[in-house]
Amino acid sequence: MTGDRLFAAYLEGREVRWHALYEREIAKAGNDRQARLLALFETLRVCTDDPGLTDCTFAGIPTETAGPFSRRIILRHEITLRSRMAGLAAEAGVPDPDVLAENLLTLFRTAALLHRTGARPAVVAEAVSTASRLVGTALPARGTLHPVPA
């Protein structure tokens, strides 16, 4: 097995674990539209709180040095994550779900990378707070929306 195929197999396992954690957090949110959209950040919090899961995100994977098999897994992961986020935003009634999804994913990726480097120890909590404000602003006033923390 080539180095790239071996790394791709590792990434596939990591992707399966990540999506299982993410779907679990979405399920925990029930019908709460805001909590479902913030499940991405709860998943990040779970990953960063558990030493065994610290590298469960795809943040910081050097795509420029990855081979074709690894790049395919990374791209699939990004497409799946973006699609799931946009779907959750659309289900929640967000007027422009793709924009909210991309904003949340940018915030998520930045927080995951900064956490991984150790540059900002409180970055996950900061990202959760910022994401809460973004989601609270984007959601139309209906359903089980909870007040956004200040």
What is the reported pTM?
A: 0.82
The predicted pLDDT at position 74 comes to: 85
pLDDT in tens, the chain (150 residues): 678 888 888 888 888 888 899 999 999 999 999 999 999 999 888 887 776 655 556 666 666 667 888 889 888 988 999 999 999 999 999 999 999 999 999 999 888 888 878 777 888 899 999 999 999 999 987 654 444 444
CA distance 28 to 39: 9
Instruction: Specify burial of residue 95 (Cβ count, 10 A radius: 0-12, 13-18, 19+).
Output: exposed
The predicted pLDDT at position 145 comes to: 42
Q: Is 93 helix (H, G, I), strand (E, B) or coil?
A: coil
| C-alpha closest to that of 36 among 110, 135, 103 | 135
Token pair in block for residue 83: 């699609």
DSSP label of 53: G
- Kindly list the distances between the CA atom of residue 4 and the CA atoms of 11, 64, 72, 79, in Å, as whole numbers in the listed order: 10, 13, 11, 21
What is the set of domains in the chain, with CATH numbers? 3-138 (1.10.357.10)
The predicted pLDDT at position 91 comes to: 95
Compute φ and ψ for 59, nearest 5 degrees: -65, 135
End-to-end CA distance of the chain: 52
CB 33 within 8 A of CB 143: yes
